[in-house]
Chain A
């Protein structure tokens, strides 16, 4: 089929899945935070609060869309536009799986495979600072200005350790495109240790992964680095003067940034869509995991704790059983392209989901850094450590790689 038609179909699929993920990411965050804090989170709007994102969308849309008279109108309207459009663009270079052949159409599971894909993501992260800075400045409000400038200064300071932590696995993979980096992480050492970047000889990139995750928390303005937008510190930081749809844009941009940066971390460090142990055995992880989840749902539904749960948990159990059935079909490899797509997507989503869970887990656990502590940490600790990691990686690659 024509390249444009195939790309258009991929764009529609990725966009639909991405927007749904963003909406339900908020549900996941609220539920996980709630269970960390020994409460239940959204429970009433739909079964276990699953309709909560929909209710939130209705609420945000029905709020009055203010345009305060004292703001600089062009920049006030431009800032959420920049933030959201850049955050949604990054997903177009993220590969979700290997090359797949559906009814004679060979295509990558990626919208666009740029030869300098990782630089594209860095460029978008660099330009994304303007959304925050302009939002703070155009609101004509000293709290917003302070919040905006602090957030932008934090983002550009942490871009340096982020970039250095990204360059280290690139030295091992010797490529800049995401597809090539993921492909270089296939295969297994000693038959069972995966060749992910964090395990890869000559220098396992475990330090680079930790530095990347810390810098990722700071880039996306999450706790423990979210002083610029904390509610009890600076009113609401740079999005104080925004209401309804524009506020929703900033929210969406923040969650989209979280998904983007965890996808980049998965591709660079955790091996993308490659499974944890070799192929025929790892196909069965997905059905077994779903069966265990279904069993847990049925068991929880049988206990007499909450009266409503006795009716809702069995439905979740059934849903997990259906998913287990689909992935069993994929594991048996009756339809080859379906099996490729489903298994690659399962491993990719499992790793990204785990990292998003770590993001929410850290939010529920750690207190906030003060601003000067944050900047001090970036420039005097994280940047030298990232630099030393890069030098050591380069040294080991130069000594131990035949090229």
Chain B
């Protein structure tokens, strides 16, 4: 059952990621990215990370991607125009990519021979209580710095997107 669920959502994620890279109109890419995020959220649930899965859907899928979709709809720039790429990229792009994936996959299989098997429900430590405890004890300083970072980002975005004062 776990295997079937993993395979379904992994295939959905990879197909949506391919779609993101291959589609010409940005709105199709945006929706494919939302598909990737949703299937990753299910995979996080399978890995016992329930709070992070819900946070992923609320923050990423419900806020960040809505921002992307709004910008694409408002700018309305249309599909990407086809352009010629460098000959090196056209010739060696795909083989190098496959080599990269193969190398990393090989390294993972070699360096981590006896990892656990993932069983839905075998680790229940991903609860909100645990994350809250860790955030407010061990990771308090990064938490406060992140708050300041968000404040900087809000101010920056508001200033950058203002109407120009003539």
Contact = CB atoms under 8 A, between A and B. Distances in A.
Is the interface on chain A under 10, 10 to 19, 20 to 34, or 35 or more residues? 20 to 34
Contacts of A130: 31, 34, 66, 69
A4 B70 CA distance: 41
A176 B57 CA distance: 16
Contacts of B38: 127
Contact of A126 (B50, B58, B73): B58
Contacts of B128: 116, 119, 176
A152 B69 CA distance: 11
With a 10 A CB-CB cut-off, give which of B51, B63, B66, B74 has the most chain A CB atoms. Answer: B66
Contacts, number: 61
A122 B66 contact: no
B70 A122 contact: no
Given A115-B127, A145-B73, A123 B51 contact: no
Chain A interface SS verdict (over half):
helix
Contact of B62 (A129, A137, A176): A129
Interface in B11-36: 27, 31, 34
A175 to B, nearest CB: 9
Given A133-B66, A137-B27, A149 B73 contact: yes
B10 interface: no
Contact of B63 (A78, A120, A126, A176): A126
A116 B61 contact: no
Given A123-B54, A127-B38, 19 more contacts: A75-B31, A78-B31, A115-B50, A119-B51, A119-B54, A122-B54, A122-B58, A127-B57, A129-B62, A129-B66, A133-B66, A133-B69, A133-B73, A137-B73, A145-B73, A149-B70, A149-B73, A149-B74, A153-B70
Interface of A: 75, 78, 114-116, 119-120, 122-123, 125-127, 129-130, 133-134, 137, 145, 149, 152-153, 156, 159, 176
18 contacts: A114-B50, A116-B50, A119-B54, A119-B55, A123-B58, A123-B61, A125-B62, A126-B61, A126-B66, A127-B57, A127-B61, A129-B66, A130-B31, A130-B66, A133-B69, A133-B73, A152-B70, A176-B128
